[in-house]
Amino acid sequence: MIRQHIRTLIRNQYRLHPREATRQTHAVLNEIWQFVAFASVQLQANEQRQALLTLKAVTDVLTDQWMHLNDIHSEVSAFFQELTRVWTETVLQVDLTDTERKRWAKQVTIWQTRLADWHSIREAFAVPQAALREGWDYSPLQRILQGAALQERAWDGEIPAYAPLLTQARLVVLEQQEKFQEYLYLAKAEGQTRAYVTMLVRQRQIPEAISYGQHHLTTAEDALAVAQALWTHGARSEGLQIADLGITLDGDHVPLAIWLRDQSWRIGEQAQALKAGEVAFQGEPTLKHYLHLTHIAGTQWPQYRARLLDNARQAPSTTDAHGLLQIFLHEHLFEDAIAVLKTDRRHTLVALVVDAALKEQTALEWVVQACRQQAEHIMNGAKASYYQAAANWLTKARTAYHLLGQDDTWHVYLNDLAERHQHKSKLLPLLRALA
């Protein structure tokens, strides 16, 4: 039943137009994933053999039919990566005999052969393959789990590329089995710092967690995970301490800075909240972050305002223009808003500034030119379906001309447009309506 259902889903996919198939890929994969989730339910219910057979049914069809799925957005690749993760955790949980492990390893090899032309996914199956080959009896692993070789790694010879993924799967299973000391041994030996320190926190070994984290955390993302764990387990000041350290580490600082800002402010640590808030704004200059700092800074706001606005003006070209525009328009800084449009001329952004300028009756000369440029681009393109959009732009231009006291100039311009586009029967009525 599972095989037939998945085959039908995939068959319907490759009968669609490629563009429609791309749109449907997410829904198809979600439906297939329900079977993978069902296997997890079976596993939790101690129906181990049934869980393996459910996963096999899904994987049999997908490895045979993968070429019919549209992977333009890498959704299929991501699905296979998650599927191999589930396989790895499952074979580590199920109590298999040596014969069964060899049989399943042979099955994984068959799937890898089918995926010969898809290197990255074929290699992803190396993780459950290794889990089947080594199990829990692999001697280097056993030495680690017994605490007999804490300065060694859990591998003989060269460490394979899949080592982190297999280690993470082993940690998941050890946690499920409540083997927390073995978890700590393995996480520490394999350099899984986030996992090691957060488990120390959960085991109430707070001083050890702080000490180890301060010396071994290397990314802002890991620092955030540890800080949140400390906070959750009542070590609030220690959590803020680790988060403050994380601001200096590599990685994406914005989520960490937002968390540190909010938690610091919650317990009245204004200075730390301001520092973190500024880091969040520098990494992601948005009106939301700006207003947060307005609230936190209080009487210090003028000095922070000037600094934040300078930061927004100097933001790299890759910064989200919409966020910058919202800040500048909130502060009625139209010259700065217009400057943003020099590097990002999307019509939605131009409209945002035009509407704000008309509302405040400022920068009207710029409004005229911007609206004319947008409208003329549409009209010159001769795309009749967009003529109403051109008329909307011209309506805004007419308003700006009127506010400037240049109604005569507007009529001259409109007459010129009518003459230039006199052969466009769908456009002319729209232009006449603007007279």
Nearest-angstrom CA–CA distance, 336 and 313: 7
How large is the average pLDDT for residues 135-156?
84
How distant is the alpha carbon of residue 299 from its chain centre?
36
Q: Rounded to the nearest 10 degrees, how much is the dihedral formed by the CA atoms of 147, 152, 155, 156?
A: -120
Q: What is the pLDDT of residues 210-231, one digit of tens each?
A: 999 999 999 999 999 999 999 9
HSE-CB of 198 using CA atoms within 13 angstroms: 16
- Tokens representing residue 145 in the block: 């789990």
Confidence bin at 18 (pLDDT 50/70/90): low
% of the chain surpassing 90 pLDDT: 80
Q: What is the pLDDT of residues 411-429, one digit of tens each?
A: 999 999 999 998 889 999 9
Q: Above 60 in pLDDT, residue 402?
A: yes
- Tokens representing residue 176 in the block: 């499920």
Q: Above 70 in pLDDT, residue 17?
A: no
pTM comes to 0.85
Q: What is the per-residue pLDDT for 328?
A: 98
Confidence bin at 396 (pLDDT 50/70/90): very high
Backbone φ and ψ for 250, nearest 5 degrees, come out as -75, 165
Q: What is the per-residue pLDDT for 118?
A: 81
- Tokens representing residue 273 in the block: 């909240």
- Tokens representing residue 193 in the block: 């710092």
**Candidate from 122-136, 153-167, 181-195, 378-392 with smallest mean pLDDT:** 153-167
Q: What is the per-residue pLDDT for 122?
A: 82
How large is the average pLDDT for residues 287-315?
96
Q: What is the pLDDT of residues 345-372, one digit of tens each?
A: 999 999 999 999 999 999 999 999 999 9
- Tokens representing residue 42 in the block: 């079976």
Q: Which helix (H) or strand (E) holds 129?
A: helix 126-134
- Contact between 61 and 35 under an 8 Å Cβ cutoff? The reply is no
Q: What is the per-residue pLDDT for 155?
A: 80
Q: Above 70 in pLDDT, residue 19?
A: no
- Tokens representing residue 10 in the block: 């995939």
Q: Above 60 in pLDDT, residue 21?
A: no
pLDDT mean across residues, the chain: 93
Q: What is the pLDDT of residues 161-214, one digit of tens each?
A: 999 999 999 999 999 999 999 999 999 999 999 999 999 999 999 999 999 999
- Contact between 280 and 289 under an 8 Å Cβ cutoff? The reply is yes
Residue spans of alpha helices (H) in 138-249? 139-145, 163-176, 180-189, 193-202, 206-216, 220-232, 236-246
How large is the average pLDDT for residues 244-252?
96
The position carrying tokens 């082993």 is: 170
Q: What is the per-residue pLDDT for 418?
A: 92
Confidence bin at 35 (pLDDT 50/70/90): very high
